[in-house]
């Protein structure tokens, strides 16, 4: 939250006093008695009047001449996703146009046009609250709830037995994803899945002497990052997971079933270390790659 934020581009704007004067056209009626915190926008970056770029009410909501002459008429631009009283929100493209007047040119929004959120008519105000000092989507602890309003599968997955500390407020969706568009898959911050994961898991980057091909290509070949019933964030459990790619060497060819449960599961013979517990990874524990000269089989 304390990281410097990308600044809006500098465009010609009225001086501070003039901006406040223009605001007063609206704040004369829309005051502290509003059901929504209209005036608290002055606590936000959009209310820092000494910044020559700071907008007035009309900069975003339009001159709204009809509204000024007839209070029951809607202002030019109504933000949000729900109807308020008799006023329906403006179309997403019209809402976003107001925001992009200043925020359309910076590295974080370079790929907004034709991005999955843009084409799905997601409005800036679908996620951002511009009139409050605390914009939930820019707070690590509250951001996930904003994203889960649409991404409901992930809302369930982050509470699974194995998960990143998202619900605990230590990892946010935006640590991996850029909702404003990106050059990577799934709106990832980096160009590839592996590059994104390495920002925190640099120990898996290598390059290793003995590489594991699917590991070098895509972490999600084995892991599911939003949550799993199998630790650590695995799509499946060894030996079954390993057998999805191996059917020959060592015990990978052998069918496994109740024997993975060991003696307590009813097995009368001695449990096999290739099936029980960590199974294959009892010995082949360097599945992300080994840098040992005697570790070709990812055992060292």
Partner 1 sequence: LSAYAADDADALTKPSSSVDFGVLYSSQDSARFGQYNGLNKKGFYGLGGFDVRGGDGYDRDKNSALRWKLNGSDLGTTSRNMGASIGEQGKWKFGIGYDELRHNITDTFQTPYREDTGGNNFTLPANFGGTNGGVIPASRGLTPTQLSAFHTEKEYSTRRNGSVGATFSFTDSLSAQIDYNHLEQSGAKLIGTGSQAGINLLGGSTGRAEAVAMIMNPTSSSTDNINAALNWVGDKAHLTAGYYGSLFHDDYNSLNWQTQQTTAASNCVGINCYVNNSMSTAPSNSFHQANLSGGYDFSSTTKLVGGFSYGYNKQNDNYAPTLIPQISRNTPNPYNMMQANGLPTTSLNGVVETTHGDIKLTNKSIKDLNLSAGFKFDERDNRTDSNTYKYMQIANVAYTGVNTPYSNRKLQYEAAADYRLAKGQNLNLTYLHESLKRWCSSVVGGAECVSSPASEEDKISLTYRLKLIESVNFNAGYTYADRRADTTNFLANAGNYAVVTPVSGSAFNAGNYQGFVAYPYASRSQNVGKAGVNWQVTQKLDLALNGRYSYDDYDAQLGVQNGQSAAVNVDATYNYTDDGSVSAYWSWQNGQRNLTSGAVNNGVAAFTPSQIIAPKNIWSNKLDDNSQAFGLLAKQGGLLGGKLELIGDLSYSLDTTTYATDVPYLTTCATPASLTCGVVSPIKNELISLKLTGNYKIVENGKLSLSYMYQKLNSNDYFYNSQQFGYTPNRVMPNGLQDQDYTVNVVALSYNHKF
The CB density around residue 296, as the number of other CB atoms within 10 Å, is 11
How many residues touch partner 1 under the rule CB under 8 A: the total is 135
Residue with tokens 């911050």: 189
Closest to partner 1 by CB, 65 or 291: 291
- Distance CA(291)–CA(298), nearest Å, equals 9
Residue 284 Cβ, how far from partner 1 at the closest point, in Å? 8
For the segment 147-166, give every residue that binds partner 1 (CB under 8 A).
Answer: 152-153, 155-157, 159-161, 165
Interface residue with partner 1 among 14, 25, 39, 223 (CB under 8 A) is 39
The residue among 229, 244, 247, 232 whose CA lies nearest residue 285 is 232
For the segment 11-30, give every residue that binds partner 1 (CB under 8 A).
Answer: 16, 20
Closest to partner 1 by CB, 64 or 115: 115
For the segment 177-236, give every residue that binds partner 1 (CB under 8 A).
Answer: 183, 191-192, 195, 198-200, 202-211, 213-214, 216-218, 221, 229-230, 236
If binding is defined by CB under 8 A, does position 9 make contact with partner 1?
yes
The DSSP line for 63-89 is --HHHHH-TTSPPS---SSS-BTTBPP
- Distance CA(153)–CA(273), nearest Å, equals 36
If binding is defined by CB under 8 A, does position 261 make contact with partner 1?
yes
The residue among 67, 139, 137, 128 whose CA lies nearest residue 100 is 128
For the segment 52-71, give every residue that binds partner 1 (CB under 8 A).
Answer: 52-53
Closest to partner 1 by CB, 72 or 86: 86
Interface residue with partner 1 among 22, 111, 177, 223 (CB under 8 A) is 111
b vs e for 36-56, b when ≥16 Cβ sit within 10 Å of the residue's Cβ?
Answer: eebbbbbebebbebebebbbb
Closest to partner 1 by CB, 67 or 284: 284
Residue with tokens 């080994």: 290
DSSP label at 4?
Answer: P
If binding is defined by CB under 8 A, does position 10 make contact with partner 1?
yes
């Amino acid at each position: 939250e304390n990281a410097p934020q990308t600044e809006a581009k500098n465009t010609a704007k009225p001086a501070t006093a003039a901006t406040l004067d223009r605001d007063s056209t609206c704040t004369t009626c829309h005051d502290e008695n509003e059901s929504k915190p209209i005036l608290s926008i002055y606590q936000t970056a959009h209310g820092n009047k000494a910044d020559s770029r700071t907008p007035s009410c009309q900069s975003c909501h339009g001159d709204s001449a009809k509204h000024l002459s007839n209070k029951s008429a809607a202002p030019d631009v109504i933000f949000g996703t729900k109807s308020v009283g008799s006023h329906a929100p403006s179309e997403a493209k019209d809402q976003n146009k107001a925001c992009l007047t200043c925020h359309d040119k910076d590295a974080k929004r370079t790929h907004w046009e034709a991005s999955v959120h843009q084409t799905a008519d997601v409005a800036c105000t679908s996620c951002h609250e511009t009139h409050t000092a605390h914009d939930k989507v820019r707070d690590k602890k509250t951001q996930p709830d904003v994203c889960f309003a649409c991404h409901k599968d992930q809302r369930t997955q982050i509470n699974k037995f194995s998960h990143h500390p998202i619900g605990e407020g230590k990892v946010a969706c935006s640590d991996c994803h850029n909702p404003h568009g990106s050059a990577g898959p799934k709106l990832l911050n980096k160009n590839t899945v592996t590059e994104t994961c390495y920002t925190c898991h640099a120990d898996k980057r290598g390059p290793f002497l003995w590489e594991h091909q699917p590991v070098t290509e895509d972490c999600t070949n084995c892991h599911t990052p939003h949550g799993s019933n199998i630790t650590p964030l695995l799509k499946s459990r060894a030996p079954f997971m390993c057998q999805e790619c191996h059917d020959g060497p060592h015990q990978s060819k052998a069918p496994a079933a109740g024997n993975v449960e060991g003696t307590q599961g009813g097995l009368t013979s001695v449990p096999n270390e290739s099936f029980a517990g960590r199974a294959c990874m009892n010995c082949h524990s360097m599945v992300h790659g080994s840098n040992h000269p005697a570790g070709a089989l990812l055992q060292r």
